Amino acid sequence: MPTTNSSLGRLSAKPDRSAVRAFFLSIAALTVALLLALYSGAAAELGQIGLASTSALAALAVAGWVAVTLVPVLAKRTPLRWIGYKMEYGITRHGWVYLSGVILVALAALNTGNNLLFLILATLVAAILMSGILSSITLSGVELRLELPEHIFAEQTVRANIELRNEKFTLPSFSLRVEAVTKKGAMPPAILDTPVYFPYLPKREAQSQATPMMFPKRGLYRQEAFRIVTRFPFGFLQKARRVDLKTEVLVYPSVERTEQLIEILPGLQGSLASVTKGQGQDLYALRDYVATDSARHVHWKASARYGTLMVREFTRDDDCRVLLVLDPHVPAAAARNAAGQSAAQRFERAVTLCASLAWYFSETGAVLQFRTAGLETPLAAAADNIFAILRRLAVAEALPPDPHHALITELAAAPDLFKIVITSQPHGSIPAAVWHSSYVIFLDDIG
């Protein structure tokens, strides 16, 4: 499972010395070409045509040498993928106020022709341009990674680790906010519902933040993309960059001990002891004697009464083998019980109760098997089987009623297992072969 503490990682990338050398050499060469071009213009004004022509040709030669030799070297080392970032723009409320002021200054400058007003107007417009350029630089070269715990339960707070990595070699990033890209009415629900803020991201480094998350319901949560947003530097513009990071999370049902589970546990434990035979001390049943039975287990009073040897069988103290059954066939969604709950609501409570029971048996060291319509887990130690059961319960869906009750009828084929059955069938409809070795919970009784 990933750690939930904030961490700071340093990138191992190193600056390309050849590219840096080519960059400064190209700047120096272009400076020389500019000076030669200026000298050529001055010579032409003085009437020295030959010297002007020679200077102009030399300037063109230097510029051409830079274009042929140095520009390709720099182009190969330029991360062009940053150019392909799709930016989203938006003007903030402060930006609209600022633009209103710029318009007023522009009108005053045009009406009066005052050079000072034109200078102020140019400064205001330059601030807007600089805001757009700096925000683009802040968003460029920033990568996102999201880590979530391996096992997540509904209604339980977990900590996710969100990491931003600044891959720029020279410039840091400021005032970044990570938020989810959501569509109205999108299903399944999004993962990140609260934005995460990073005030400062140093160059060539990564920073992470642990953010609490809570998923209210079981099921599959999916996030197709995230958005990195900034208002740096002046807050006039809000610029965002979309990061495609497909993430899916499977949320298990809650396994907390509810009042309903606490109410049924005493009766469940009593039923389990009464139908499970073994090497314990409590009497389970009487049966006819066979040659392999020990004489100390003979019940002499019963033998005298029946005229044949009868042997005692005892309940098992150390081995608990349970078959947990969820019957997903429920009445129509509009049907309601006496408490006014719909069939869908009762089914969700049944799934949660089933998960709580599976977790309880995993804590008590039982041997557990889970069965529902079309799905079955192998019989194994509940501690080894629990997450396979929870994964299936996380995506369980209610099904239309089954007139043949095939799932319940098939339970008679497992007489050696104690069965816990959660079903929507009415009272009195459970076959006797299943009833005598089962503890049945009816959906109509789930409040």
In this structure, the answer to whether residues 166 and 218 fall within a common structural domain is yes
In this structure, the answer to whether residues 307 and 267 fall within a common structural domain is no
What mean pLDDT do residues 204-208 have? Answer: 90
Query: Would you place residue 100 in the very low, low, confident or very high pLDDT band (cuts 50, 70, 90)?
Result: very high
In this structure, the answer to whether residues 192 and 224 fall within a common structural domain is yes
In this structure, the answer to whether residues 265 and 342 fall within a common structural domain is yes
Asked which of 31, 47, 76 is the last residue of a domain, the reply is: 76
84-101: burial string, b at 16+ Cβ within 10 Å, e else: eeeeeeeeeeebeebeee
In this structure, the answer to whether residues 53 and 126 fall within a common structural domain is no
Burial class (CB in 10 A: 0-12, 13-18, 19+), 102: middle
| Number of domains present in the structure of the chain | 4
| Whole-number pLDDT of residue 285 | 63
> Residue 44: what are its φ and ψ, rounded to 5°?
-65, -40
How far from the centroid of its chain's Cα atoms is residue 166's Cα? Answer: 22
- For residue 198, what are the domain limits? 81-252
In this structure, the answer to whether residues 29 and 71 fall within a common structural domain is yes
User: Mind listing the pLDDT tens digit for each residue in 265-278?
Assistant: 776 766 665 554 44
What mean pLDDT do residues 125-139 have? Answer: 87
In this structure, the answer to whether residues 105 and 232 fall within a common structural domain is yes
In this structure, the answer to whether residues 283 and 223 fall within a common structural domain is no
What pTM was estimated for this model as a whole?
A: 0.66
Which range, of 73-77, 237-241, 399-403, averages the lowest pLDDT?
Answer: 73-77
Query: Would you place residue 200 in the very low, low, confident or very high pLDDT band (cuts 50, 70, 90)?
Result: very high
Residue 421 to residues 262, 291, 348, 434, Cα–Cα distance (Å): 17, 37, 15, 9
**Residue 233, preceding peptide bond in cis (omega within 30° of 0):** yes
Higher pLDDT, 370 or 73: 370
- pLDDT > 90: what percent of the chain? 9
Asked which of 58, 76, 94 is the last residue of a domain, the reply is: 76
In this structure, the answer to whether residues 281 and 389 fall within a common structural domain is no
Could you tell me the two tokens for 79? Answer: 């991360």
Compute the distance between CA of residue 77 and CA of residue 37 in angstroms, rounded to an integer: 30
Res. 176: pLDDT tops 90:
yes
User: Mind listing the pLDDT tens digit for each residue in 230-254?
Assistant: 999 888 888 898 888 888 889 999 8
In this structure, the answer to whether residues 47 and 182 fall within a common structural domain is no
In this structure, the answer to whether residues 193 and 227 fall within a common structural domain is yes
In this structure, the answer to whether residues 404 and 414 fall within a common structural domain is yes
In a domain, 3, yes or no: no
Write out the E strands in 253-306.
Answer: 277-288
Query: Would you place residue 201 in the very low, low, confident or very high pLDDT band (cuts 50, 70, 90)?
Result: very high
Which range, of 214-228, 235-249, 330-344, averages the lowest pLDDT?
Answer: 330-344
Compute the distance between CA of residue 382 and CA of residue 365 in angstroms, rounded to an integer: 7
Q: Which helix (H) or strand (E) holds 409?
A: helix 406-409
Confirm if 258 and 353 have CB atoms less than 8 A apart: yes
What mean pLDDT do residues 122-147 have? Answer: 88
Give the chain's end-to-end CA distance (angstroms, integer): 36
Query: Would you place residue 304 in the very low, low, confident or very high pLDDT band (cuts 50, 70, 90)?
Result: confident
